[in-house]
């Protein structure tokens, strides 16, 4: 698939992170560190969780508290934990729920999965939740599953190689393009993008009851809408 305007957002990720937080992360190096876990050459261990928290790659501890080794061990032994991670995305819902019990926060789960398996996972973040209007679940694990479905669909629609790439591009879209208005061409592309507009609307509608949707449509008939059809 040809390069899209959202690929330009992905290219801006490092600069945007440096502008926001004063440091450019080295996610590619962290992915290389965890490649043996991804391929099954070795199990995931406490040492890998320490590596993920190393500020050399990206200071995730600035945003979230990762559990101590003993806290994880109280919930699941490390060999079993590794098998759960390495078999994903099989039995995804139950597996992420187990990982959530071990790591305590879905954000920490998402960081681990994003670097072990970037083809399928991204780091859950408020900016991407906002730009996609991600549906809220009954609990944060269910919300993360909705989040994953959305970024995977974006990956496939825009032709990204990995869900993590779509996730980073969407983060830049919200944090840089929509928040600063400094990139008028990208802003125009966003406003003209039918797929993103439809995904946002469908996610919002999914939060509403049938009667609420019908009432909204009735009210929309009386509005002076800006678009007459595309």
- CA distances (Å), origin 176, targets 15, 91, 153, 173: 10, 35, 22, 6
| Mean predicted confidence (pLDDT) in 27-31 | 97
Instruction: Give yes or no for a contact between 116 and 44, defined as CB atoms under 8 angstroms apart.
Output: yes
CA atoms within 13 A on the CB side of 212: 6
Question: Mean pLDDT score of the chain, rounded to an integer?
Answer: 92
Residues 68-82 pLDDT 10s: 998 998 888 999 999
Rounded distance between C-alpha atoms, residue 143 and residue 73, angstroms: 26
User: How does residue 57 score in pLDDT terms, banded at 50, 70 and 90?
Assistant: very high
- Give the pLDDT of residue 218: 75
**52 vs 28, 34, 126, 158, 198, CA distance in Å?**
12, 9, 21, 28, 35
pLDDT of res. 62: 86
pLDDT category, 229, cuts 50, 70, 90?
very low
What is the distance between the alpha carbons of residues 9 and 168, in angstroms, rounded to a whole number? Answer: 8
Query: What is the per-residue pLDDT across 177-223, written as a single tens digit (0 to 9) for each?
Result: 999 989 999 999 999 999 999 999 999 888 877 777 777 777 777 77
Percent of the chain whose predicted confidence (pLDDT) is above 70: 96
d(CA 90, CA 185): 40
**Which alpha helices (DSSP H) does the chain contain, by range?**
5-11, 13-21, 27-39, 46-52, 69-75, 78-87, 92-103, 106-116, 126-132, 140-158, 163-172, 178-180, 184-192, 194-206, 210-221
């Amino acid at each position: 698939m040809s390069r899209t305007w959202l690929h330009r957002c992905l290219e801006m990720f490092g600069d945007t992170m440096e502008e926001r937080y004063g440091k450019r992360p080295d996610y590619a190096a962290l992915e290389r560190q965890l490649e043996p876990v991804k391929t099954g050459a070795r199990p995931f261990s406490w040492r890998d969780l320490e590596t993920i928290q190393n500020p050399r790659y990206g200071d995730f501890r600035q945003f979230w508290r990762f559990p101590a080794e003993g806290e994880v061990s109280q919930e699941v032994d490390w060999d079993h934990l590794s098998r759960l991670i390495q078999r994903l995305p099989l039995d995804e819902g139950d597996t992420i729920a187990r990982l959530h019990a071990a790591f305590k926060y879905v954000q920490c789960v998402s960081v681990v999965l994003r670097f072990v398996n970037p083809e399928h996972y991204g780091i859950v973040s408020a900016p991407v939740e906002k730009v996609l209007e991600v549906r809220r679940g009954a609990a944060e694990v269910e919300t993360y599953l909705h989040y994953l479905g959305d970024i995977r669909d974006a990956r496939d629609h825009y032709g990204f190689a990995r869900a993590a790439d779509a996730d980073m591009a969407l983060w830049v879209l919200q944090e840089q393009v929509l928040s600063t208005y400094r990139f008028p061409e990208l802003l125009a592309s966003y406003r003209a993008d039918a797929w993103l507009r439809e995904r946002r609307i469908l996610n919002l509608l999914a939060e509403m009851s049938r009667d609420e949707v019908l009432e909204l449509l009735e009210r929309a008939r009386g509005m002076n809408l800006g678009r007459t059809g595309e």
